[in-house]
A = this chain, B = another copy of it.
Amino acid sequence: MEVTQANFKAVLPQIEQAIRDCLFISVDCELTGLKTEENSVNTFDTPKQYYEKARKDCKEFLVVQYGITLFRLDETTDSIKHKSYNFYTFRRPINHFIQDKRFLSQTSCIDFLIQQSFDFNKLFREGISYLNNVEEDEWRNTIKEQQRLKTESYNSNYNRNHDIVLIPEANQEFIDDVVKQLEAFLASNESELQLPKCNSFLRRLLYQTNSEKFHDKIHLRAHSVNSERILFATKLKCKEESEEIDRIFFEKLKSELDDYIGFSQVIRMIVKSEKIIVGHNFLLDFLHTIDKFLTPLPHDYLDFKDVVKSLFPAVYDTKFIGSSQHFKSIIPSTVLGQLVHTVTTHPFNLPPCEIEQGGQGYDINDSKEHEAGYDSFITGLSFLAMWKHLGDQHNLILSDLIGRRGEGLLKPYKNKIFLMILADNQFLDLEAPDQIVSRDHVFYLTFPKEWTTNNIVQLFSPFGNVYVSWISKTSAYVALYKRDQAALALKTLCQSDTYSIITFARRQRQLAGADLSGTVQPSPIKRRIITNETTQSKRNKTGKFEGSSIRMSKRSIEPIEEEAQSDEDEDNFTASKPRTFAECKSWD
């Protein structure tokens, strides 16, 4: 079902019910962009470094479509029922207390979406708003503070708490003229006076002047007339009337807040439900889900894991499952569209699946790839098929699969997120320390900016073939194919004025050394998101996190370029210098 601002409130109760009833929830996001220019992942990054880069990308781009599919076991028919929702998400400017948002787009992503018939007009016109907990708190506090100041000002002059604006000579005549009109209005029997059209600066001058001259006699308020802002003057019987007008205004602002929380309510319901959540190649989508709709992603990697633990008990990534040892011999490709076709045919044995009666959903043969709702559906279907495959090997029937035995089969895949590009099949472990992989065969090399891959390959040729992963124009990680040559290579190559070589481990210690400017102690983050307390923002105010914030920005100013692994579709050219990845997500 397509959900926009137009039907959001109406369908929210049925979504809540569906979340409560379901077995698991699969999700998918469409984004305005994947990565900033200066922020590429390196093959030999650690999961922590990967997170720090992905977090940064996540801050720049928007989620413009969010798909969720809810899968339920129907015990009467012993089949799976599913329904899907496809939300357009876009936050229009709220009001001038809250800075209007700037967001980045990547033309390739926009082009990709438009090729998939994404409707940007609908997005911008009917997108559902959202706020994370910190934004919501900020807004509540702003309203409270404004109301407090306003209350204080009832007994003083408007201008005491306002910046005083100089009336430019050119506008003095206009202002004087309006003052005359207001004087006449006060003396008249009229109840309302429409002031002449004027721009926002003149309106500002008029508020100021009105407060100076007619403080407790006239109230000014702007209304839209034919899409122009027009000032209207009304008479105040007493001071209290002005206060009442403002009280109503602030109440309206507060009630509007719920509208602005919008789509975040759905994600909060999911958190509250503690249901299994499933994504495909899930990292970016998962980070956006937290950052945009729940709470800003922490700078610190361990804090991030704490946040996740407090929010989601069980997260699965179908790309991680599909590329695992258990499945890789029977799943030739984990690209989503190919994965779902593989796991819905022999030797896989999908249980009977139907669209929930009275609900709306997709069929696997709908050609709607990259509509978030459809992608969430085929992600969930893939998850179910692989889960069922595990159950079949243990002769579990469908209702057993859903029980504790069945869930136990998923344990090796629980809370593990696939990480594209990284060597050694590393993944992000949401609930445990990351695995430690040997990098003894990897070196950190710096060299003159004229060097190309060939120079590096030549240098290492006595020790066999190498894999070069560029970091900048003058540095790269170099991995030996023959790992046993590592010690000899280091010993042989370590004396040079032209280049420098150190082990991967030593390089990591160097980077970590630069990290020691502040000692960050992660502390548990309670499950406060859904009860709407401001854990995250309070913690930030303690300054504890500023250390990691500074380190982050230091790291990010290093120029990082990646080795060319871009798509060679249209060409087959010689590249003398590294290029950047064309697209991460096109590989998923």
Contact = CB atoms under 8 A, between A and B. Distances in A.
A221 B338 CA distance: 21
A91 interface: yes
A327 to B, nearest CB: 11
A107 B111 contact: no
B468 A587 contact: no
Query: Which of A90, A105, A125, A207 counts the most chain B CB atoms within 10 A?
Result: A105
A451 interface: no
A107 B100 contact: yes
Contacts of A583: 200
Nearest to A60: B102
Contacts of A207: 568, 572
Nearest to A329: B173
A7 interface: no
A495 to B, nearest CB: 25
Contacts of A174: 332
Given A146-B574, A170-B323, A567-B204, A111 B95 contact: no
A203 B569 CA distance: 8
A149 B200 contact: no
Interface string A18-59: 000000000000000100110000000000000000000000
Contacts of A574: 146, 149-150, 152-153, 158, 160-162
B96 A107 contact: no
Contacts of A113: 124
A189 interface: no
A534 interface: no
A580 interface: yes
Given A103-B105, A111-B93, A149-B576, A164 B468 contact: yes
Contact of A565 (B114, B165, B466): B165
A332 B569 CA distance: 60
Contacts of A572: 158, 207, 211, 220-221
Contact of A453 (B162, B211, B571): B162
Interface stretch (A81-89, A115-123, A303-311, A389-397): A115-123
Nearest to A252: B570
A586 interface: yes
A9 interface: no
B200 A578 contact: no
A532 interface: no
B453 A164 contact: yes
A222 interface: yes
A449 interface: no
Contact of A96 (B101, B222, B567): B567
A487 interface: no
A338 B453 contact: no
Contacts of A457: 164
A435 interface: no
Q: Which of A106, A564, A572 has the most CB of B within 10 A?
A: A572
Contacts of A120: 120-121, 123-124
A333 B36 contact: no
A198 B164 contact: no
Contacts of A153: 574
Contact of A576 (B161, B199, B338, B573): B161
A92 interface: yes
Can you list the 7 inter-chain pairs with the closest CB atoms, starting with the nearest?
A: A161-B574, A200-B567, A149-B574, A166-B467, A222-B569, A120-B120, A100-B108
5 contacts: A162-B574, A162-B575, A170-B328, A201-B565, A207-B572
